[in-house]
Amino acid sequence: MSDWVQAVVLALVQGFTEFLPISSSAHLVLPALLFGWEDQGLAFDVAVHVGTLLAVVLYYRSELWQMTVSCTALLRGQPVNGDVRLVGYLALATVPVCVVGFLADAYVESQLRTLPVIATTTLVFGLLLGLADWRARSGARGMPLVAGVALVIGLAQALSLVPGVSRSGITISAGLLLGLDRATAARFAFLLSIPVIAGAGLLKGLQLVQQSAPVDWLLLSVSALVAAVTAYGCISLFLRLLERLGLMPFVYYRIALAGLLYALWLV
């Protein structure tokens, strides 16, 4: 029963934090620190990645279908349209995180997944999120989504490999600082998560195939479903509230979370 409780709680945390700009790694470290929970293992990581990927794909299913139709039409000789350009921007923005992940994954896992690093990045990039929100509030926007903007957002996304940065937080921050409006920055950030989460899930899945440990498929299926439902709800809620509240509630939350992490580190 304890395995089920831990799995469901961690799946909820993963689904809740994957798309909010508050860092999933900063939250997933808390159960281990507060309750002494052990890592759920590679199979669990794959399951919750599948769940969050399913959530974002379902949420943007209409746009993804339209992009697929447009790319298929391009192969038949139709002209390039906005959907095809968006696919190109997403591909361009995905390259930096793939390169940095390939080169630095081992270093990140062995050297940067520590409490002081996570606390510091939670605070620093939370303040950066606040700066980006201030820029959006000041009306300094109007930049269209072009290849150069997409590439810079992709470079910023590579920083999210450092625990505590938050992938959605850094990509939305970069978009706003470059002059995108909130809706465009958030939409591109969430669409950009699809190849990243899919790639991470595939890599972990290949690693899982090489293991011979037994797998509790029922527990993993429930965990994936919990992560998917929670993540879908968070995407919907976040996008509805973004224009009304801005990002400052998440900035304040990150500052408080960083304080808690520093306190846990010092005691």
Q: Give the model confidence (pLDDT) of 108-126 as tens digits.
A: 888 888 899 999 999 999 9
CA distance 113 to 172: 23
Q: Helices 147-158 and 167-177, interaxial angle, to 10°?
A: 140
Other CB atoms within 10 Å distance of the CB of residue 187: 19
Quote the pTM value.
Answer: 0.92
Tell me the pLDDT tens digit for each residue of 118-153.
Answer: 999 999 999 999 999 998 887 666 789 999 999 999
Tell me the pLDDT tens digit for each residue of 66-77.
Answer: 999 999 999 888
Q: Name which of 174, 202, 157, 189 is nearest 50 in CA terms.
A: 202
